[in-house]
């Protein structure tokens, strides 16, 4: 049952591995308990709250279905804290697989490489490590589609002509990927002009202020790409306050339940969204657990597709129990 691990493992590390898997020789009858460490960011906004919720959901289901399996979820607020947690999961909890959503790619690469070298199977979620050799598998959402689908949808809704303002998240590679994909897609429809793109920090209050100032500055706005469902809430409030009627669409992003609910209820401004669900942490944990139980490896890269959410398919994306 452990045979496939030895495929991926360097022989030099066999000693360490043996120590780790002590007892695995005697498992002919009873399988060794699988311990999966899950290291994720703490809930600081809707999306990370969803991550924490879905991780615990996977834990509940897996532990109920597989007696003896342990899934240990650790949430960190900073990169050093997360690096320590990864270490503790190995030393204290003796995990044999790690599902890691790094707070920051470069800082977590070394800690991940260290546990991988000790024989832990490492699945990285959402933000890839700087050195792919430090991970066994990578599961991520599609940030390109996050921007591309939004741009394509808005271009179609505006019939290829109009003014769009953009709110960006925080300065980061994820944000850059999304915004670049958005701009690239919009280049196909030269009639659409992006008036400006400013940071709203994935935060409702900041988005409210940025939108207020856009409304002061631009007399004709046809659509807003808020690039996040939390920011869309601030944007909607600012539009409501200014009583502006020129704006036809507010496109968020992420598939938060509030936004999906609005789509289902036929909101005037929020008519579509793009999924980028924190559920991928759930998928990643389950995939890792099931593959490890069978002694299989995961594909090196799994992309959870981002899908355009409209009234027709909104129901499948509505999870009222999740905080996101």
Partner 1 sequence: MQPTPTSKPGKPAFSLAGLERLKGIGPIVALVLLCIAGTLLNPDFATLDNLMNVLTRTAFIGIIAVGMTFVIVSGGIDLSVGSMAALIAGVMIVVMNALVAGAHPMAAPAVILAGVALALALGALFGTAHGLLISRGRIEAFIVTLGTLGIFRAVLTWLADGGALSLDFNLSEAYGPVYYQSVLGVPIPVWVFALVAIGGAVILNRTAYGQHVQAIGSNEQVARYAAIRVDRVKVLTYLLLGVCVAIATVLYVPRLGSATPTTGILWELEAIAAVVVGGTSLRGGAGRVMGTVIGAILLSVIGNILNLTSIISVHLNPAVQGVVIIAVAYLQRGRR
Residues that bind partner 1 (CB under 8 A): 42-46, 48-50, 52-53, 168, 171, 196-199, 202-205, 208-210, 212-214, 216-217, 230, 233-234, 237, 241, 258, 322-324
Minimal distance in Å, beta carbon 210 to partner 1?
A: 6
- State residue 308 phi and psi, 5-degree precision: -70, 125
Q: Which is nearer to partner 1, 184 or 265 (CB)?
A: 265
Cα angle 171, 172, 173 (rounded to 5 degrees) comes to 140
Minimal distance in Å, beta carbon 324 to partner 1?
A: 6
Residue owning tokens 């600012």: 238
Q: Which is nearer to partner 1, 3 or 245 (CB)?
A: 245
Minimal distance in Å, beta carbon 249 to partner 1?
A: 20
Which residues in 42-161 belong to E strands, given as ranges? 70-76, 97-100, 121-125, 137-141
Minimal distance in Å, beta carbon 261 to partner 1?
A: 11
Class of residue 157 by CB neighbours under 10 A (exposed 0-12, middle 13-18, buried 19+): middle
Minimal distance in Å, beta carbon 263 to partner 1?
A: 17
Q: Which is nearer to partner 1, 149 or 260 (CB)?
A: 260
Q: Which is nearer to partner 1, 24 or 180 (CB)?
A: 180
Q: Which is nearer to partner 1, 94 or 198 (CB)?
A: 198
CA distance 128 to 139: 8
CA distance 194 to 187: 10
Q: Which is nearer to partner 1, 47 or 138 (CB)?
A: 47
Minimal distance in Å, beta carbon 141 to partner 1?
A: 19
> Closest by alpha carbon to 135, among 171, 170, 162, 110?
110
Query: Residue 145: which residues within 8 A CB-CB, separation 6 or more?
Result: 181, 274, 305, 306
In angstroms, what CA-CA distances link 1 with 26, 29, 54, 108, 138? 12, 11, 28, 29, 23
* Angular region, 128: left φ>0, alpha ψ -120 to 50, beta rest: beta
Minimal distance in Å, beta carbon 111 to partner 1?
A: 24
Q: Which is nearer to partner 1, 214 or 276 (CB)?
A: 214
- State residue 104 phi and psi, 5-degree precision: -150, 135
Q: Which is nearer to partner 1, 121 or 319 (CB)?
A: 319
238 with 211: CB under 8 angstroms?
yes
Minimal distance in Å, beta carbon 303 to partner 1?
A: 26
Minimal distance in Å, beta carbon 310 to partner 1?
A: 24
In angstroms, what CA-CA distances link 109 with 83, 112, 115, 170, 323? 9, 5, 10, 21, 29
Q: Which is nearer to partner 1, 84 or 199 (CB)?
A: 199
């Amino acid at each position: 049952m452990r045979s496939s691990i030895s495929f991926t493992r360097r022989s030099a590390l066999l000693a360490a591995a043996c120590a780790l898997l002590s007892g695995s020789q005697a498992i002919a009858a009873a399988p060794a308990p699988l311990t999966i460490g899950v290291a994720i960011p703490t809930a600081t906004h809707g999306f990370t709250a969803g991550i924490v919720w879905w991780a615990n959901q996977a834990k509940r289901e897996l532990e109920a279905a597989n007696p003896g399996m342990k899934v240990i979820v650790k949430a960190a607020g900073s990169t050093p804290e997360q690096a320590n947690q990864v270490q503790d999961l190995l030393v204290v909890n003796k995990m044999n697989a790690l599902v890691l959503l790094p707070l920051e790619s470069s800082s977590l690469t070394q800690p991940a490489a260290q546990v991988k070298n000790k024989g832990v199977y490492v699945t990285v979620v959402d933000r890839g490590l700087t050195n792919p050799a430090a991970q066994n598998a990578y599961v991520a959402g599609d940030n390109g589609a996050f921007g591309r689908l939004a741009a394509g949808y808005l271009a179609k809704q505006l019939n290829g002509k109009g003014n769009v303002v953009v709110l960006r998240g925080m300065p980061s590679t994820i944000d850059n990927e999304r915004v670049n994909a958005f701009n690239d897609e919009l280049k196909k429809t030269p009639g659409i002009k992006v008036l400006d793109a400013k940071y709203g920090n994935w935060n409702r209050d900041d988005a409210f202020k940025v939108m207020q100032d856009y409304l002061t500055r631009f007399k004709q706005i046809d659509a807003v790409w808020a690039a996040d469902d939390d920011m869309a809430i601030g944007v909607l409030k600012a539009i409501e306050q200014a009583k502006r009627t020129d704006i036809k669409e507010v496109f968020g992003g992420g598939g938060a339940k509030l936004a999906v609910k609005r789509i289902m209820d036929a909101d005037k401004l929020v008519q579509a969204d793009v999924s980028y669900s924190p559920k991928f942490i759930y998928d990643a944990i389950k995939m890792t657990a099931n593959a490890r139980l069978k002694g299989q490896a995961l594909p090196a890269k799994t992309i959870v597709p981002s899908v355009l959410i409209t009234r027709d398919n909104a129901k499948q994306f509505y999870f009222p129990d999740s905080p996101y």
